[in-house]
């Protein structure tokens, strides 16, 4: 393979070939970096989709197992359903490239990214976007802007741009930026916790590269990144991002195909209708805006449209719908920019009313019904053991790994008043669930447990993913799971006319639809654990971003105060909530706890319905049970054994007589516990002077009887009735 372009970038080299493969596509780029090879293609359909506000763009990122020398596991030996990582990488590329397409572009466009070869050091998510952008930039589609990604990590206090995966193993930060040579378009960020974290092995975070996460054991010391530190990192990362795109455009120019002008659909606006609605029905528009639920607002606007059509019978309804939408958007933005008041009357930095109800589901391990305005999330937690973890294997993994903290987000149509069936998980649902996972995982302390959080969105009017974060934290506390900090989430928005701008806290659906930014921030009162931002303007300045971060911190602190108050009122589902207890004992007592042939510990497991794990080296005991009562009982029993002075071992001789306790009755006799805890067997024929049909006719479990040592058979003692 000959390469047309080779670029030396910070910490890596990228080589591109154009025109050698996939020649029938509108654009194709073959990218090699290290031992990784990615093919990205762009194909445009000549048939237009007739819908003015819809861009028919599809992005598919596909990993081939042969790229890492593997055959697919399971029954079917070919790639089938995309993994979470593939789906979420497709979403990242889509969100980065979608802003490039001009308004009115109506041709179905397919971008396919295939990983053909992969090494264990390459950042496949960064390379995927860079390859897709190169294919798009050099295609015959009339798009002349390069988009690329830069990832930033922080290890031992040092910022590393374009880190290798090895460098990311001990990073406390994972920041993914995408943009052009002039504008920042998208941000994905998560904090891993303390720099002194103990790393057991590398673990997939489906939002990021497969080997970017860390599986933390013992403790997740929360070390959320502060706003000031994050802005400083943004400045350095953004500078490299802008410089790289300038390099790409210069290097790719000679490989660009002759451009075919895009046949843009004219968005026809009936100025007469717009003026009529503005002059005669502005109050009706305002009243419709006050109907905050999407379904209620749509009904109000539809009623207005029918009312006007009744007066203007010769008007075309679809044109009138567009005119009403234009006036509504003007009013939303004008009211925010000029009056500093939002459609629902809130101040720009005001958070909607919040109510929190915990453990509303009596049979679930824990639950939280989190309501903020007209957004409501029911978050349900289920606890399990190590065997309940989600198994997965990333492309470059050498073995199967386990994910023991899961967040699953569901968005049924009824939450926004839509009559749509509940189908499989969509990309958006996967992305929102993963954002909540990245927000909560760094502060959650698990020791061998598996936790699954499921967020059922019951009502939505903006920022249901942030309601999932807040409800998820409360569900963790309602399950009595230890956390290192309290985390909440808030969605920020912005409206700008080019000169003036207004930043909005806790945006609702109307402001998301008609605004210029969707910026989700999660974290504690001290800093940020996760972040996701999409810009509709074409870019955002760091000064505005800094202001948004601090306004988000203010709103987050307000929400946390409400959550703390609710946390104090939690009543646990003690009857169904699994419990785990950890403590240490003197290792010299482990033999007594286990008992002869494991008898003592088996009795405890059956009696208290628990699982008991003992580290014989350091005496660490872990008890897990279905409820706190059983766990506490097992612990008290063990501590009773440990605190009972050990009896000196008795040297038994044939003919000696002792008082023992009947521990267990069997068909052929009874087991007797002797004074030092040693067991002996008294046969049914030796239990009485008379013939006995049933042992239970003579003795019962717990009876004290005097026995005589008759003989020794190996380690077994044969007894008779004295």
**Number of domain units in the chain:** 5
Of 567, 588, 608, the residue at which a domain comes to its end is: 567
652 in a structural domain: no
649 in a structural domain: no
| C-alpha 506, offset from chain centre | 21
260 in a structural domain: no
264 in a structural domain: no
CATH of the domain at 540: 3.30.230.70
698 in a structural domain: yes
pLDDT surpassing 50 at residue 626: yes
Which pLDDT does position 385 carry in this prediction?
80
| C-alpha 254, offset from chain centre | 42
Is residue 426 located within the same domain as residue 479? Answer: yes
Residue (of 113, 61, 68, 117) closest to 84 by Cα position = 61
pTM for the whole structure? 0.79
User: What does pLDDT average to over the chain?
Assistant: 86
pLDDT per residue as tens digits for the range 246-275? 999 999 999 999 988 777 766 667 788 888
Of 209, 228, 255, the residue at which a domain comes to its end is: 255
pLDDT surpassing 80 at residue 81: yes
Is residue 327 located within the same domain as residue 287? Answer: yes
Which pLDDT does position 664 carry in this prediction?
85
Q: Percentage of the chain with pLDDT > 70? A: 92
Region label for 417, one of left (φ > 0), alpha (ψ between -120 and 50) or beta (otherwise): left
- Is the separation of the CB atoms in 536 and 577 below 8 Å? no
Instruction: Tell me how far CA of residue 496 lies from CA of 114, 325, 330, 701, in angstroms.
Output: 38, 18, 12, 82
CA atoms of 151 and 169, how far apart (whole Å): 14
Which pLDDT does position 85 carry in this prediction?
92
**What is the distance between the terminal CA atoms of the chain, rounded to a whole angstrom?**
94
CB atoms within 10 A of CB 543: 9
Sign of CA dihedral 556, 561, 566, 572: positive
Residue (of 336, 291, 126, 133) closest to 212 by Cα position = 126
Parent domain of 546 = 354-567
346 in a structural domain: no
85 in a structural domain: yes
Of 159-168, 191-200, 240-249, the poorest mean pLDDT is in 191-200
pLDDT surpassing 90 at residue 716: no
pLDDT band at 490 (very low <50, low <70, confident <90, very high): very high
């Amino acid at each position: 393979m000959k390469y047309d372009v080779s670029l030396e970038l910070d910490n890596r080299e990228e080589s591109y070939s154009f025109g050698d493969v996939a020649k029938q596509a509108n654009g194709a780029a073959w990218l090699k970096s290290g031992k990784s090879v990615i093919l990205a293609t762009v194909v445009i359909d000549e048939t237009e989709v007739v819908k003015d506000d819809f861009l028919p763009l599809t992005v598919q990122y596909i990993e081939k197992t042969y790229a890492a020398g593997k055959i697919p596991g399971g029954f079917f030996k070919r790639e089938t359903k995309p993994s979470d990582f593939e789906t979420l990488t497709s979403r990242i590329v889509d969100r980065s490239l979608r802003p490039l397409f001009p308004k009115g572009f109506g041709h179905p466009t397919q971008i396919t990214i295939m990983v053909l070869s992969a090494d264990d050091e390459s950042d496949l998510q960064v390379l995927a976007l860079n390859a897709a952008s190169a294919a798009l930039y050099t295609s015959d589609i009339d798009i002349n802007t390069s988009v690329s990604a830069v990832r930033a990590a922080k290890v031992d206090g040092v910022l590393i741009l374009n880190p290798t995966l090895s460098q990311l193993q001990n990073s406390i930060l994972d920041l993914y930026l995408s943009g052009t040579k002039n504008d920042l378009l998208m941000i994905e960020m998560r904090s891993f916790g303390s720099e002194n974290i103990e790393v057991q092995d590398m673990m997939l975070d489906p939002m990021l590269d497969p080997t970017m996460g860390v599986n933390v054991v013992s403790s997740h010391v929360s070390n959320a990144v502060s706003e000031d530190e994050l802005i400083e990192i943004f400045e350095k990362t953004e500078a490299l991002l802008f410089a790289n795109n300038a390099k790409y455009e210069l290097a790719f120019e000679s490989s660009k195909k002759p451009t075919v002008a895009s046949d843009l659909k004219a968005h026809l606006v009936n100025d007469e209708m717009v003026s009529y609605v503005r002059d005669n029905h502005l109050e009706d528009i305002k009243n419709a805006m006050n109907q905050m639920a999407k379904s209620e607002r749509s009904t109000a606007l539809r009623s207005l449209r029918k009312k006007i059509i009744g007066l203007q019978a010769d008007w075309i309804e679809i044109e009138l719908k567009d005119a009403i939408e234009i006036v509504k958007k003007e009013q939303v933005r004008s009211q925010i920019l000029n009056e500093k008041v939002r459609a629902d009357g809130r101040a720009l930095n005001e958070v909607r009313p919040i109510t929190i109800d915990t453990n509303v589901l009596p049979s679930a391990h824990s639950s939280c019904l989190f309501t903020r305005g007209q957004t409501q999330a029911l978050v349900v937690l289920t606890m399990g053991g190590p065997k309940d973890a989600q198994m997965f294997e990333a492309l470059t993994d050498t073995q199967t790994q386990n994910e023991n903290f899961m967040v699953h987000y569901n968005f049924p149509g009824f939450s926004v008043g839509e009559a749509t069936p509940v189908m499989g998980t969509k990309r958006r649902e996967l992305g929102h669930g993963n954002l909540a996972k990245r927000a909560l995982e760094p502060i959650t302390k698990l020791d061998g447990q598996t936790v699954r959080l499921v967020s059922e969105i019951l009502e939505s009017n903006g920022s249901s993913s942030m309601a999932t974060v807040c409800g998820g934290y409360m569900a963790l506390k309602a399950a009595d799971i230890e956390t290192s900090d309290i985390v909440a989430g808030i969605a920020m928005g912005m409206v700008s006319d080019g000169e003036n701008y207004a930043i909005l806290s806790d945006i609702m659906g109307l402001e998301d639809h008609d605004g210029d930014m969707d910026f989700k921030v999660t974290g504690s009162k001290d800093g940020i654990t996760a972040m996701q931002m999409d810009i509709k303007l074409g870019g955002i300045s760091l000064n505005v971003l800094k202001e948004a971060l601090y306004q988000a911190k203010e709103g987050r602190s307000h929400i946390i105060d409400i959550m703390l108050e609710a946390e104090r009122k939690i009543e646990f589902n003690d009857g169904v909530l699994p419990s785990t207890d950890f403590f240490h004992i003197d290792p010299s007592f482990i033999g007594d706890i286990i008992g002869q042939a494991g008898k003592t510990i088996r009795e405890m497991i059956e009696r208290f319905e628990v699982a008991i794990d003992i580290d014989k080296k350091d005496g660490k005991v872990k008890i897990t049970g279905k409820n706190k009562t059983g766990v506490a009982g097992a612990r008290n029993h063990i501590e009773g054994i440990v605190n009972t002075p050990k009896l000196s071992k008795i040297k038994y001789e044939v003919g000696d007589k002792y008082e023992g306790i009947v521990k267990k009755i069997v068909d052929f006799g009874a087991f007797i516990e002797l004074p030092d805890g040693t067991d002996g067997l008294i046969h049914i024929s030796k239990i009485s002077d008379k013939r006995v049909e049933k042992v239970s006719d003579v003795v019962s479990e717990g009876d004290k009887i005097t026995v005589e040592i008759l003989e020794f058979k190996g380690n077994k003692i044969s007894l008779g009735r004295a």
